Amino acid sequence: MDSDAGSTCSRSSSPDLVVDDPAGTFFSNKMFQTYCQKNRVDSEAGPGRMEHCSGGKSKTRSELSKEEVQDLRLKVNSRERKRMHDLNQAMDGLREVMPYAHGPSVRKLSKISTLLLARNYILMLSNSLEEMKKLVVDVYGSGAAAQSRAAAHPAIAPAAPTPHLSLHPLSQSLHSLVGSAPSALQHHAPPASSAPASHSPPSTSFLGFHAPVQGLLKEPLHLSSSYRHFPGMPCPCSLCQPLPTTTSTLHSLSMNK
DNA sequence: TAGGCCATCTGGTCCT
DNA sequence: AGGACCAGATGGCCTA
In this predicted structure, the answer to whether residue A220 has a pLDDT above a threshold of 60 is no
- Our measurement of CA A143 to C1' C12, in angstroms, reads 59
Q: How far is the CA of A78 from the C1' of C4 (A)?
A: 13
Determine what percent of chain A is predicted with pLDDT higher than 90. 6
The DSSP line for chain A is: ----TT---S-TT--S----S-TT-TT-SHHHHHHHHHHHHHHHT--SS-HHHHSSS---STT--HHHHHHHHHHHHHHHHHHHHHHHHHHHHHHHTSSS--STTSPPPPHHHHHHHHHHHHHHHHHHHHHHHHHHHHHTS-HHHHHHHHHH-TTTS-SSPPHHHHHHHHHHHHHHHHTT---GGGGTS--GGGS-SSS----HHHHT--S-SSS-TTS-EE-SSSSEEPTTS---SGGGPPPP-S-HHHHHHS---
Give pLDDT, residue A62. 53
Q: Is residue A25 predicted with pLDDT exceeding 80?
A: no
| Chain segment A125-168, per-residue pLDDT in tens | 999 999 999 999 998 876 555 555 555 544 433 333 333 333 33
Please report, for chain A, the start and end positions of each structural domain, with discontinuous segments joined by +: 25-40+65-97, 109-142
Cβ of A111 near strand B (distance < 7 A): yes
* pLDDT of amino acid A200: 31
Residue range A21-27: mean pLDDT, rounded: 35
| Structure confidence by residue, pLDDT tens digits, A32-89 | 434 433 443 333 333 333 333 333 333 434 566 777 887 888 888 888 888 888 888 8
Nucleotides of B under 7 A from a protein CB: 3-12
Predicted model pTM: 0.50
Average pLDDT, chain A: 51
Give percent above pLDDT 70 in chain A: 29
